Copies of this chain bind each other. A is one copy, B any other.
Amino acid sequence: MENIRFITMGELLLRLSPPNYEKIRTTDEFKVTYGGAEANVAAALSNLGVDASYFTVVPESSIGKAAIRYLRSNDVHCSPCIYAPEGRMGIYFLEEGFGVRSSKVTYDRKDSAFAKYDFSTVDFKEKLKGFTWLHLSGITPALSQSCRKLVSLALKAAKELKITVSFDCNFRSALWGWQEARDCITEYLPYVDVLFGIEPINLRDENGKDMKDGLSMNPTYKEQDRIFRELHKRYNFKAIGRHVRYVHSGSENSLKAFMWYNGETYESRTFRFNILDRVGGGDAFASGMIYAIMRNMPPDEIVNFAVASSVIKHTMHGDFNITDDEESIIKLMNQEYEIRR
């Protein structure tokens, strides 16, 4: 791990959620945290001891500074960040569900300082110098044309600098359309080494039909293996991770994952668990898998560590998996739950 220097880039959001399962319409208080798909990955890695940096743009205001403080407290290096004189902080309101009542996210992220920043003025080769791993997500290109510029410039610079690139597809239907997303993200794939999620991506067979279109949300090993192989054939990914969620209720889910790794497909155990905070579960899967790859764990352990990382995230408030020891995650894999004293 000594020589690893990780960086990620994306939008940071102010998250406002009523305490104690209250509803937004009746609350007189919001709990304040900050998050974003990429920030979540950076924080999870730094808490586990990885040297992690973050690039974003926040407004030059107390809100923007508060957001950066939050990341800094997690030991994420924020010196690459830009304080913009224009634009606002993107916000999302989260009404946390309970049992049969689902959680609800309301976005108020339009015209954020990040989305409006002119990234063509940034020298990404300079920004990425010295780093060994770059992580991006499919949320960024959905935000604005300038943000798409960010992604393509960063990918190209990473390629030149021979930096490992991971990419989490992370489709958000509130931000853009399915086909627009597919077309856009597919163009990024040649630059990607480690892929999370298999949608929205074009994977057309000779008849122009997407090979994934019939795929079940809960595929068999065989079905998933076939898709992984096809993806690998075209883009030569080092690894692909895809988790599968079963929603028993808003408070209880199960998770498992499939992983393509060095030419083979692996399947994790299935974990059933109670949920304290659902947001960031997918990012914790990604960060867990990245961490396990960085640590050179055997493939079996990588995929199970990734799922356990996601599962333990669901027991913490906020978007971040702030577990600071491998041991806790590994204990979870062994289902040891007794109080430690």
A: which residues have CB within 8 A of B? 16, 19-33, 61-63, 65-66, 69-70, 72-75, 88-89, 91-93, 95, 97-108, 110-111, 172, 174, 247-251, 271, 273-276, 278-279, 311-312, 314-318, 322, 324, 328, 331-332, 335-341
Task: Find A317's partner among B22, B31, B88, B340 (CB 8 Å cutoff).
Answer: B22
Min CB–CB distance A304 → chain B (angstroms):
13
Contact A62 B341 (CB under 8 A): no
Task: Find A102's partner among B88, B102, B279, B336 (CB 8 Å cutoff).
Answer: B336
Known contacts A31-B29, A69-B26, A72-B72: A20-B102 contact under CB 8 Å = no
For this complex, 26 residue pairs linking A to B, each with C-beta atoms less than 8 Å apart, are: A19-B20, A21-B316, A21-B317, A24-B62, A25-B66, A27-B32, A28-B31, A29-B32, A62-B106, A63-B108, A69-B75, A72-B74, A73-B73, A88-B108, A91-B91, A98-B276, A100-B335, A101-B328, A103-B340, A104-B339, A107-B341, A111-B111, A174-B341, A247-B337, A249-B337, A278-B339
**Which chain B residues lie closer than 8 Å to A16 at the CB level?**
16, 30
A326–B161 Cα distance when bound, in Å, is: 40
Known contacts A28-B33, A328-B101: A251-B274 contact under CB 8 Å = yes
